[in-house]
Amino acid sequence: MSNTNIRYTPRDRDWHPEPDFPEYRSTILRSPKQKLVVVPEMMADKTGPAFGQNVLGEFDNDMIVNFAQSGEKAIGEQIIVHGKIVDENGRAVPNTLVEVWQANAGGRYRHKNDNYQAPLDSNFGGCGRCVSDADGNYSFRTIKPGPYPWPNGGNDWRPAHIHFSIFGSGFSQRLISQMYFEGDPHIQICPIVHTIGDPRAVDQLTARLDMSNSKPLDILAYRFDIAIRGTNSTYFENKPEGN
């Protein structure tokens, strides 16, 4: 039965970057040279498999300690990242798996292909996950990541950022994005950010310092709300055509 009270908004193709953006040099070879082919969605794409909602560990949402040795903590500025996940009509999206991964406080990932000379932190793994509650709220603790250089234009640096993956009811319903931090000067000079032509979209990828949810003399909080569909949806890297 259709619900006439639900409003669906059309995709705004101009909201998303061009796939071939020479300033971001990797896109020259990665971007498609032929028109995209639309593959019809099957029932299996909508129904499964789904991952992890029922098997979260006690510290999966706490990257300060989830990789640390007993009694130890990760090094760096400790922060809380929280927000609300909503659909195109502002309704809460509950019970949604949120995965996050990031560099450490020095700007280095725990990955064999990361050759940046910043030191690794033996007590920081750089990944975690949580599930949104009945009101669409999510929250996790982590270390504020550092910026890092990347071999794009000779002296390009990525802003401090945290990668997000939002799961739906099946594997094909996965949205991937990244979050920046309010006031970071690297945002304005990053070639990857420059691919996003609308300043409003960049603003939606920027978390705000949230003193009302910080813990005095302990830990700062940043708020990052996520809209998964519609004209005002958060920009998702794996859905450049729109959500």
Active-site residue, selected from the candidate residues 16, 82, 108, 161 = 161
Active-site residue, selected from the candidate residues 11, 110, 163, 186 = 163
Active-site residue, selected from the candidate residues 16, 24, 108, 109 = 109
Q: Both tokens of residue 136?
A: 């669409």
Longest dimension (CA), the chain: 58
Q: Using only the alpha carbons of the chain, give its radius of gyration.
A: 19
Tell me, yes or no, if 235 is annotated catalytic.
Answer: no
Tell me, yes or no, if 161 is annotated catalytic.
Answer: yes
DSSP symbols for 108-164: --SSTT----SPP-TT---EEEEE--TTSEEEEEEEPPPPEEESSSSSEEEPSEEEE
Tell me, yes or no, if 163 is annotated catalytic.
Answer: yes
Tell me, yes or no, if 111 is annotated catalytic.
Answer: no
Active-site residue, selected from the candidate residues 24, 148, 222, 235 = 148
Cα separations (Å) of 152 from 25, 30, 43?
Answer: 6, 14, 41
Tell me, yes or no, if 11 is annotated catalytic.
Answer: no
Active-site residue, selected from the candidate residues 16, 158, 222, 229 = 158
Q: Which residues are catalytic?
A: 109, 148, 158, 161, 163
